[in-house]
Structure 1
């Protein structure tokens, strides 16, 4: 039987760790008392949460004490538990709000490689609203709000834990797309007659799709499972996308809508260009739409075997892409020939590498070390003489990667500085040219009203 994933519960004394532990294991294994520091050793139990099974560790309250003292040795046990865990639940008391010891624990957790889920306990009623808002400044995103005592908010806790605890050996309706062994969902889009179906037929080694010189032969998006060098690929051929004014026929309107729908289900989208026609405005619109949908984008110049002035053409398309897609510079540009098959292996290899970047998650510690260097090298401006203070950054999601930046007066942070940070994330943290989302959050004063 596969070993269960592990969740460690951490927080300062008396925030409700043992109450949550007992709620998850369904038994009163941990002592619960109003006095802080009741739990001295790590306690472990098998937890069950809405069908999700895992091992949970109840840790001693994290205290700022000398390592040789009893509280100090308790803290060392807590740190060891977090290092061994798949994810840490960082509990705060929403009613008490954030205290200095919470901030110290947050600093330590940001330097850890263990993923962290922030949990605001005792959040029932209005009394916990202020603490929930204050907790945003800890740098771990929106907290899961719950009441361990009353069992409220457990569905939200399930959703927060699920991405960290899903295992490959568990049955699932779809493979985990962040698993390198999962099929690469690759959609091929482009203007009519760019050679999309011909390219897929060449990949498959058979005439699986109808092809012909008439534009618009492919009406539906067709998904085909294929194996490339021992790796699984799900190819999605789509109807050609024309300018809106040219989409008159109702069937073709449905086909374009279907192509856009296919983009939603893809991980990596290849925009196929006709090398004999170069890059046109419609190609940039299609590319922009793919990026807006948050998909990883690659550009492939087809019919390269018959292209004239190949070097000048390639450099011209590269320059036009960097100018027309300024929000994501350096989108992979490859050359292929659907007729001869040249360049297809490089295209698929690049697709897997691009998906890996699109699915990448940076440990909080590594992310904030980069962030501190970036802010030190180029401090944010001071509009009106008042400096914008940037506190922390955390990665809220993947596919596409999304980050949340916390600080004061961030609503005045210029677009140019936001681009500086996003470009740094791409360049220095291994995200390449995939779309990166940056959200700005400023903790609000709960008493401002």
Structure 2
């Protein structure tokens, strides 16, 4: 079991900077802005061969705001599930009353606590740490998270019990190497289709405009208040990756910040949040696009939908807050959404209430179906037969009096499915005929919820660039013929 280490402290003391430093990523948003982090952010890290889980948390402060109370609850939950607490303070701000309150709470817990004095770069570390001994948490560890100074030394002390345990385990593992090697040989002899695909987690990103219910849906999936939910646009600021298991299948849920129109995005924090969301779309296997039933489908939703499909992601659309719509308006809204999504009829649409309904089963059924279709195994023979049936149904157009000839098709990639068609003059195929082929393949293969790409490849002429080179025998006959002609024979 990997050790779980949580970073806690007041807002803006450098918790997310240390998280990024340890995970060697930029997953946690960082800015000189108190209260930026609101949800628990999990990451994996490795110090000198010892792996551990690190949790970034929201800053703990008491200002009476409801949104802050929700964030603090998330931090307290992270503390309870951790093995080690890194209590971070700011050397430049000095000892604050909120630091004392946090220290008083941590002392009531049966946890291993390390007092970390951050932002000690450019100042005398020993003098800066003196006042923090008043917290009564034994030794202080001075670091500068932004530069990495003192971080390795701190983590070596924190992880010392696990490093010793790992050394003991390594000795016992050496005795079992021969036994394990035999099992590994059997594994590598397995065919690709024999390997259990359920062990590969499906990355599932939840996308939408602000305040459409993304975090509420994530909490519904997890069966707990894992994400901060609040009736205010912009509650989620970061892309949070959460592993989960459903009906024996591994998933990684990605809760994202809401995306508004580009013209309305002004702050640098919101711009960074949008970049994180767009990266999450590219990183996901399946994307859930959430719409607000009260607003219907707007232009921003269509822009997000186009971006998702352009990047080849499988897609499920959820129309949320369906319980708030009157019976009279439900038919109108369904007709309006169906009309605006007429070009994307292969995408599955569900009308749900993430807050009240037990909608999890039907959503995950669609998610799994989309993923299976996007990774479907397709052989060359079957694709070529479908292509020939499509050509018989509707011939390719003439180009300068010559008919475009399609020869054979094969798979070129998965997630999304990429079909490569070889033929003559295929680069001149118009977009309308390409769209016809995509739709024909989709109907024949019964592929839903994922885009299909078709790439055309020009077949090579085997006689081109040969310059009519003759074999040795033919050359000898040719020379003999010329000699005979010259001699008048």
- The residue that corresponds to 2:259 in the other structure is 241
Map 1:394-433 → 2, pairs under 5 A: 394-433=410-449
Match of 1:228 among 233, 239, 246: 246
Give the superposition deviation at 1:178. 9.1
Distance 1:385 1:247, change over 3 A: same
Distance 1:414 1:248, change over 3 A: same
- Which whole-Å deviations, capped at 9, do the CAs of 1:36-66 have from their partners, x for residues lacking one? xxxxxxxxxxxxxxxxxxxxxxxxxxxxxxx
Whether contact under 8 Å (2:198, 2:250) holds in the other structure is no
Gaps of 5+ in 1: 1-165, 171-175
SS at the partner of 1:346? helix
Whether contact under 8 Å (2:209, 2:259) holds in the other structure is yes
- The residue that corresponds to 1:58 in the other structure is none
- The residue that corresponds to 2:379 in the other structure is 363
Distance in 2 between residues matched to 1:444 and 1:370, nearest whole Å = 23
- Which whole-Å deviations, capped at 9, do the CAs of 1:342-378 have from their partners, x for residues lacking one? 3222111100001000111211111111111111121
- Does residue 339 (structure 1) correspond to residue 359 (structure 2)? The answer is no
Match of 2:306 among 288, 306, 318: 288
Map 1:16-415 → 2, pairs under 5 A: 169=187, 179-308=197-326, 309-322=329-342, 326=343, 328-415=344-431
Gaps of 5+ in 2: 1-183, 189-193, 468-489
Whether contact under 8 Å (2:346, 2:450) holds in the other structure is no
- The residue that corresponds to 1:436 in the other structure is 452
- The residue that corresponds to 1:7 in the other structure is none
Distance in 2 between residues matched to 1:298 and 1:374, nearest whole Å = 28
User: Would you tell me which structure has more helix in proportion to its own residues?
Assistant: 2
RMSD of the TM alignment (CA)?
2.5
- Which structure has the higher relative contact order (CA within 8 Å, separation 6+)? 1
Whether contact under 8 Å (2:198, 2:249) holds in the other structure is no
Give the superposition deviation at 1:300. 0.3
Higher radius of gyration, 1 or 2: 2
Aligned residues: 277
Distance in 1 between residues matched to 2:186 and 2:446, nearest whole Å = 24
Distance in 2 between residues matched to 1:188 and 1:217, nearest whole Å = 14
Distance 1:303 1:229, change over 3 A: same
* Structure-2-length-normalised TM-score: 0.54
* Structure-1-length-normalised TM-score: 0.58
Distance 1:178 1:302, change over 3 A: farther
Give the superposition deviation at 1:181. 4.6
Give the superposition deviation at 1:443. 2.7
